[in-house]
Amino acid sequence: MKKKISIMLATLMISTMGLSGCGKKAPETGTTGGDVIKIGVFEPMTGANAAGGALEIEGIKLANKLYPEVLGKKVELVLVDNKSDKVEAANAASRLVEKEKVTAIIGSWGSSLSMAAGDIVKKAQIPTMGTSCTNPLVTLGNEYYFRVCFIDPFQGTVMANYAFNTLKAKKVAIVQEVSNDYAIGLAKYFTDSFKKLTGDPNCIVAVTNYNTGDQDFTAQLTNLKAKNPDVIFAPGNFTESALVIRQARQLGIKTPFIGGDTWETPEFITTGKEAVEGATFSTFFATEKPITKESEVFLTAYRKEYNGKEPAAVAALGYDAYIILLDAIKRVGSADSVKLRDELAKTKDFQGAAGVINFDENRNAVKSAVIKQVKDGKFTFKEVIEPVK
């Protein structure tokens, strides 16, 4: 019996390979014929990063609803899940490029996932618009990868400036999520900028690490308390950061905490409760201070679509990724991927919902950052920081 099963399965396997072999090698560039232009969306819909992915998809879908057509053709979104896993991300991107034959791709939340798709989109010459992936490596050396957000070096500098200028800090301690590329990137750039600003090589009094998924930070925080910093910089995902700040307050540490854009989620406040009052961070977008006219369009539409819910910054980025692609397609006049890439690179002063976008020589968006603070249990806007031109 077992042998029969195995022979059947072996035949099945060979026939699957044979059937899939019937798919000939397709033309490389994505020129979709007919009345539909396909835009691939490759985000984590399951797995560890599903939350971030879901928010971005909200923004992208909203943009598609508001602007469903370009050049008289309907724009169809093809969503593929990269499952928050690198291997799957490569498969997902490959699928979009080969099977779905998309003209362009939007994605992804999570720089490591975006990097997995890098080579594939480069070889297939499909321009890809990153949404919130801030690791500089994503666009480095890859002419087909763009992003609508600024990168870690900029964000680190922004927070260093805030700590030095606004908070008048001379000594900073860093608590970083060492297994998170975003966190260590931010920490390094913050350190470099802060050292330059203070002129004091010992201004970072302590650097302590924790891993993703850790829940107990009391040991690390107790050490920090002894060093008496003016400000604590804690880049890391909101899950851990909320607990870090909470435990810090429980240990009697009254120092202000600053961090990065990953803090801007509802769970940061519901988990951190009173402890996170006053926590300040940099992010891409503020609902109270619409930066452009498109911001207002986005906000109104979002609130209507999602029943009064306030949009997360990454949703605005997803929205921008979509409309900037559409704008470039309009300028090119066709869905030719290679021409689209060149046109995208020429984008100047694009009015996105999350700010005015210009691409630098590495296809990263040069735009302003927004500082937000937790006040009375809500994220409130503090100020806008312009990029150094």
Partner 1 sequence: MSLDTFLQHLTNGISLGSLYALIAIGYTMVYGILRLINFAHGDIFMMATYFAFYGVTTFMLPWYFSFLIAIILTGALGILIERTAYRPLRGAPKISIMISAIGASFLLENVAIVMFGGRPKPFPTPEIFDKMVQIGNISVQRLTFVIPVVTFVLLYLLLYLINHTKSGMAMRAVSKDYETAGLMGIDVNKTISFTFGIGSMLASVGALLWALKFPSLLPLMGVMPGLKCFIAAVIGGIGNVKGAVIGGFILGIGEIMLVAFFQDLSGYRDAFAFVMLIVILLLKPTGIMGEKISEKV
Partner 2 sequence: MKKRNIILTIISMLILIVVLFFIDKNLDSYNTRILNLCAIYVILALSMNLVNGFTGLFSLGHAGFMAVGAYTTALLTMSPDMKAQNFFLAPIIKPLANLTLPFFPALIIAGLVSAFVGYLIATPVLRLKGDYLAIATLGFSEIIRVVFTNTQTLTNGALGLKGIPDTTNIWWTFGMAAVTVIIITSLINSSYGRALKAIREDEIAAESMGINLFKHKVLAFTIGAFFAGIGGGLLGNLLGTIDPLMFRFILTFNILLIIVLGGMGSITGSIIAAFIVTIAGEALRFLDETMNLGFITIQGIPGLRMVVFSALLMLVVIFFRHGLMGTKEFSFDKIINKFSRKPSEKGGDQ
Binding site for partner 1 (CB under 8 A): 46-48, 50-51, 178-179, 206, 208-211, 213-216, 218-220, 222-223, 225-226, 239, 242-243, 246, 250-252, 267, 270-271, 273
Q: How far apart are CA 282 and CA 155, in angstroms?
A: 7
Closest approach of partner 1 to the CB of residue 330, in Å: 37
- 126 sits near partner 2 (criterion: CB under 8 A): no
* CA dihedral of residues 254, 256, 262, 264 (deg, nearest 10): 90
Beta bridge partners of 385: 369
Using CB under 8 A, pick the residue from 137, 167, 207, 338 that binds partner 2: 137
Q: Between residues 58 and 327, which has the closer beta carbon with respect to partner 2?
A: 58
- 119 sits near partner 2 (criterion: CB under 8 A): yes
List binders of partner 2 among 44-73 (CB under 8 A). Answer: 45-47, 50
Judge contact between 373 and 382, C-beta under 8 A. Answer: yes
In three-state secondary structure terms, 233 is: strand
- What does 32 interact with, of partner 1, partner 2, none (CB < 5 to 8 A by kind)? none
The CA-atom distances, in angstroms, between 334 and each of 40, 340, 345 are 17, 8, 16
Q: Between residues 32 and 222, which has the closer beta carbon with respect to partner 1?
A: 222
Beta strands in the chain (DSSP E): 36-43, 69-70, 73-81, 104-106, 128-130, 145-147, 172-177, 204-210, 231-233, 257-259, 280-283, 350-352, 355-359, 365-366, 369-375, 378-385
- 377 sits near partner 2 (criterion: CB under 8 A): no
What is the DSSP annotation of 300-325? HHHHHHTTTPPPPHHHHHHHHHHHHH
- What does 116 interact with, of partner 1, partner 2, none (CB < 5 to 8 A by kind)? partner 2
Q: Between residues 178 and 301, which has the closer beta carbon with respect to partner 1?
A: 178
Closest approach of partner 1 to the CB of residue 170, in Å: 21
- What does 181 interact with, of partner 1, partner 2, none (CB < 5 to 8 A by kind)? partner 2
Closest approach of partner 2 to the CB of residue 7, in Å: 8
Find out whether the peptide bond into 108 is cis, omega within 30 degrees of 0.
Answer: yes
Judge contact between 125 and 100, C-beta under 8 A. Answer: no
- What does 208 interact with, of partner 1, partner 2, none (CB < 5 to 8 A by kind)? partner 1
Q: Between residues 89 and 325, which has the closer beta carbon with respect to partner 1?
A: 89
Closest approach of partner 2 to the CB of residue 120, in Å: 7
DSSP structure class, residue 268: H
Alpha helices in 67-108 (DSSP H): 86-98
Closest approach of partner 1 to the CB of residue 28, in Å: 36
* CA dihedral of residues 383, 239, 176, 134 (deg, nearest 10): -60
Q: How many other CB atoms are there within 10 angstroms of residue 66's CB atom?
A: 15
Residue ranges in contact with partner 2 by CB under 8 A: 2-3, 5-6, 9-10, 13, 16-17, 20-21, 23-26, 45-47, 50, 79, 81, 83, 85-87, 90-91, 94-95, 97-99, 112, 115-116, 118-120, 123-124, 135-137, 140-141, 178-181, 183-185, 188, 209, 211-212
